[in-house]
């Protein structure tokens, strides 16, 4: 299983970024995918998730209305559109995948077995 993130960078407050996560090595359509972030000195936080089978999406309150997760099943890629960014969104963003999530909380990062290397987002 391989997850490769891209799209991070430096952006001014109020700006936008799009992160991508290219997945390989597993049956993309049977997994749950999530974007998890971690800022220095802060706990890891699952901010968005998607069930690739049903296209159901989940958002943390901290990003609801500003972030959008989507998928392109043909490209085995998950995207994170981030709008109205604030300095509080500064963090390393990781793409994560899990199989068989069931009824467990899709925003709880502890349930995810596979992780990308992360991409840095800095809002300043």
Mean pLDDT of the chain: 95
Give residue-wise pLDDT tens across range 71-91.
998 999 999 999 999 999 999
Give the distance from CA 101 to its chain's centroid: 16
HSE toward the beta carbon, residue 16, CA cutoff 13 A: 8
In the prediction, which pLDDT does 41 show? 93
C-alpha–C-alpha distance, residues 119 and 65, integer Å: 22
In the prediction, which pLDDT does 26 show? 83
C-alpha–C-alpha distance, residues 23 and 48, integer Å: 17
What are the two backbone dihedrals, phi and then psi, of residue 8, each rounded to the nearest 5 degrees? -70, 175
Give residue-wise pLDDT tens across range 17-39.
999 999 998 887 788 999 999 99
């Amino acid at each position: 299983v391989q997850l490769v993130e891209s799209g991070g960078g430096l952006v001014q407050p109020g700006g936008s970024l799009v992160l991508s996560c290219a997945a390989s090595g597993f049956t993309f359509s049977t997994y749950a995918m999530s974007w998890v972030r971690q800022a220095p000195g802060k706990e890891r936080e699952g901010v968005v998730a998607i069930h690739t089978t049903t296209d159901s999406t989940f958002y943390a309150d901290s990003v609801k209305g500003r972030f959008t997760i989507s998928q392109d099943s043909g490209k085995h890629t998950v995207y994170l559109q981030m709008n109205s960014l604030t300095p509080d969104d500064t963090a390393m963003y990781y793409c994560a995948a899990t199989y068989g999530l069931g009824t467990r909380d899709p925003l709880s990062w502890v349930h995810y077995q596979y992780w990308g290397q992360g991409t840095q987002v800095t809002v300043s």
